[in-house]
């Protein structure tokens, strides 16, 4: 499986399934560059090993022997896959305007914000926040994965011409067109993470990639010019009927999409807003009506 910055494989360690992530920056590089990247990976691993949060995927370590192309990162394997697999299953069973569906969407967005807040507190920019990097554990809670890997794309930027390694559909305008936005680098920041969070809001709510109707080229050209993804609801009366308006989430997303990075809200403000949008459970969320999901990441 391929991610924004790494290729992911499934393995076994101490009788448990693990995910093995081989950084794409190691590919097509000479030995000197590989040695530099490996040293950088070891340095980052010293930081990652201390990461401990309910909504961040546990980092287990590094292996230098399995792959000839370079070191790989080892993390816990999440058999339930990533979040949009789950939103698709919920959508098929309940529909977008069902209260049960909304509960889980808002719950997962809140947990995503909590995990992102923790990473920012630790001085870590996620750099590739999107559905495939938001995993679901056995308790149906969110775990953020593949955080901090953008530093390796930047290390390899001289060969590729850009440090950008994420997906443009979740990226901020200053990453897609730094010069046009008055920036001298397309490196991800805490502000671009906030922009990406709003794209995740659309992704989870619609269970589709942002800008579903556009080509990648149209996204690359459109976002720096002010184009943003759209929330789509099938029943505008639903929000009034059940007292769960979509407008507060839209307003928050629009602030996160501010063209000027410094005008976007701080992640702690986002956490507070998402906490206010949580929908009380009439019974345990671990209901027997939970749809059957296919395993696998």
- Average pLDDT, stretch 6-23? 85
DSSP 8-state symbol, 97? T
Tokens of 57: 């995927």
The whole-model pTM stands at 0.85
At residue 229, the pLDDT reads: 95
- The 3-state DSSP class for residue 152 equals helix
Distance CA 148, CA 126 (A): 5
**Looking at residue 101, what is its pLDDT?**
83
* Residues above pLDDT 90, as percent of the chain: 46
Cβ atoms of 200 and 106 closer than 8 Å? no
Contact 166, 136 (CB under 8 A): no
Average pLDDT, rounded, for the chain: 83
CA distance 162 to 82: 28
pLDDT tens digits along 107-153: 999 999 999 999 999 999 999 999 999 999 999 999 999 887 766 66
Comparing CA positions, the residue from 222, 97, 134, 232 lying closest to residue 172 is 222
Residue 244: both structure tokens together: 């769960």
| Separation of alpha carbons 115 and 144, rounded Å | 7
Cα 130 from Cα 33, distance rounded (Å): 29
């Amino acid at each position: 499986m391929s991610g924004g910055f790494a290729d992911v494989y499934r393995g076994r360690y101490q009788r448990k399934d693990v995910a093995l992530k081989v950084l794409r920056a190691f590919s097509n590089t000479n030995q000197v560059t590989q040695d530099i990247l490996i040293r950088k990976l070891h340095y980052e691993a010293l930081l990652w090993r201390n990461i401990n949060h309910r909504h961040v995927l546990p980092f287990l370590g590094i292996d230098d022997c399995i792959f000839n192309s370079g070191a790989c990162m080892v993390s816990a394997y999440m058999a339930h896959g990533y979040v949009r697999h789950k939103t698709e299953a919920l959508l098929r069973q309940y529909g977008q305007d069902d209260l049960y569906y909304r509960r889980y969407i808002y719950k997962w967005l809140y947990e995503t914000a909590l995990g992102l807040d923790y990473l920012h507190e630790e001085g870590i920019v996620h750099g590739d926040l999107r559905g495939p990097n938001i995993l679901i554990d056995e308790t149906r809670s969110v775990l953020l994965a593949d955080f901090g890997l953008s530093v390796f794309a930047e290390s390899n930027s001289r060969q590729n011409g850009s440090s950008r390694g994420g997906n443009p559909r979740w990226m901020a305008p200053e990453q897609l067109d730094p010069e046009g936005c008055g920036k001298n680098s397309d490196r991800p920041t805490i502000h671009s993470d906030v922009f990406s969070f709003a794209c995740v809001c659309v992704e989870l709510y619609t269970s589709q990639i942002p800008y579903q109707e556009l080509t990648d080229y149209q996204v690359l050209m459109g976002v720096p010019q002010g184009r943003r993804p759209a929330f789509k609801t099938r029943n505008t009366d639903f929000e009034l009927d059940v007292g769960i308006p979509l407008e507060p989430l839209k307003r928050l997303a629009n602030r996160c999409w501010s063209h000027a990075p410094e005008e976007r809200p701080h992640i702690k403000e986002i956490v507070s807003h998402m906490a206010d949008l949580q929908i009380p459970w009439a019974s345990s969320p671990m209901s027997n009506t939970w749809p059957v999901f296919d395993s696998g990441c």
